[in-house]
Structure 1
Amino acid sequence: MKVDYKNFEIEVIDDKNYNLNSTYNLRQYQKTYFEENEFRPSSKHAIIIKEHGIEIASVLICETNGATEIFDNSFIIENDKIWIIVSNKIYCLEIPSLEIIWRKEFDQFTNFHIHKLEEDFVIHGELEIFRITKEGEIIWRFGGLDIWINPEGKNEFTIENHFIRLFDFESNEYVLDFNGKELEFNPRTIETETKKKWWQIFS
């Protein structure tokens, strides 16, 4: 995914095939952020910055918890910074150097999306929803009865006017204000009435 920002072209990609221990990778990066341990990274995201078509900075960021991919809401760019989701972490990097300003863990498992909310950000995590400052400080966090993944196709996280609407795994609905206060809780209703057989309709 490519974004034009000031005089820069910023490309953010998911480089799953990159091998940290190989010299035969198709693409090389100027920096690599990865805490060495016995686990293989589950997420490998790269940022490449070009100016007038010439690469001036690049970085590969690796993390070992929940696997993430690059979507429209995987990163935010403004004020000469990029905030990017990598697994259950958020990285804030300086533009154009791509030096780390801060790196913090939020959801225990995976962060799915990051959204702008007024002067802050909201993170849609697997277990919790977080509102954070641009400096990575948690303003509030909210957890439901189940994880924030919905197998029925409902949009688990939407910002609507002055509200945040959520659906959990069981399709329970939650409505929060921007201060994280729960305004509505609408539990899923399950039909319990058994339909009559066709021959019982007229009996």
Structure 2
Amino acid sequence: MTTKYKNFVISIFSDSAYSLDSSDNLYNYDKKYFDESDYIFPSIYGIRVVRDEEEFSAIIGSAGGATAASNKSVIVENDKLFMCCGDSVYCLSLPDLNLNWKTKVDTITCFELFKIDNFFIVHGELEITRLSIEGEIEWQHSGRDIFVTQNGENDFEIKNGIIIAKDWDNNEYKFDFKGNVIN
């Protein structure tokens, strides 16, 4: 995934073969942000920011399930990169890619990140979460099963200030932005 922001070109790519402190890595990074774990991370992403002739790089790795870097899991604004990776959401400053915060948001994995006013809604596998712009969890809701439908369609949307999520058995859940359950 490559995007332009101001005079930066930001590239985000999977680097699943990366191993901390190995000399056999395909790329070297200025900064490394990894969870502490004895397990191999299913989500490892290299990030490169190029501004004029200057280049900045970081790699992030997180526990939990795999997350795909896409326009639904990455938001760039106000000189910050917000990104789902595994079970967490990261906030990195631009262009230097310093870690502002990292918050574990789901028990398994985060699929999508939506910016609403001055907060985020995170569509996770097991939780729907409202996250502050500073990375604080404001509320979370789980369902009877994972928030993915069997056919992978229409499992999550935000319409008219209402969050609508469906689980594996097509049970529908509705929340307002304050976290109230709507019947």
Residue type matched to 1:17 in 2? A
TM-score (norm 2): 0.92
Aligned residue number for residue 26 of structure 1: 26
Percent of matched pairs sharing the same residue: 38
Query: Does the CA contact (< 8 Å) of 2:47 and 2:58 recur in 1?
Result: yes
Report the 3-state secondary structure (helix = DSSP H, G, I; strand = E; otherwise coil) of the residue aligned with 2:72: helix
Q: Is the 8 Å Cα contact of residues 126 and 145 (structure 2) preserved in structure 1?
A: yes
How far does the alpha carbon of each residue in 1:3-32 deviate from its partner, in whole angstroms, 9 at most, with x for none? 111111111111223333532333222222
Determine whether 1:167 maps to 2:166: yes
Tell me the distance in 2 between the aligned counterparts of 1:76 and 1:149. Answer: 22
* Greater percentage in strand: 2
Counterpart residue identity of residue 33, structure 2: Y
Find the residue that maps to 1:11 and give its secondary structure. Answer: strand
CA distance in 1, matches of 2:152, 2:47: 31
Q: 1:134-190 deviations in whole A, cap 9, x for unaligned? A: 101122211222110111333211011221111111101122222222223xxxxxx
Task: Report 1 or 2 for greater relative contact order, CA contacts < 8 Å, sequence distance ≥ 6.
Answer: 2
Offset of residue 36 of structure 1? 4.3
Q: Aligned partners of 1:104, 1:79: CA distance in 2, in Å?
A: 19
Do 2:51 and 2:95's aligned partners in 1 also have CA atoms closer than 8 Å?
Answer: no
- SS of residue paired to 1:146: coil
Give the alignment's TM-score, normalised by structure 1. Answer: 0.83
Aligned-partner residue type, residue 66 of structure 2: A
Bigger-Rg structure (1/2)? 1
Q: Which residue does the alignment assign to 2:101?
A: 102
User: Is there any run of 5+ residues in structure 1 with no aligned partner, and where?
Assistant: 185-203
Determine the structure 1 residue equivalent to 2:87. Answer: 88
Distance 1:169 1:15 in 2: 30
Q: Name segments (4+ residues, structure 1) moved above 4 Å.
A: none
Q: What number of residue pairs does the alignment pair up?
A: 183
Cα gap change, 1:35 to 1:158, in 2 (>3 Å): closer
CA shift for structure 1 position 39: 1.5
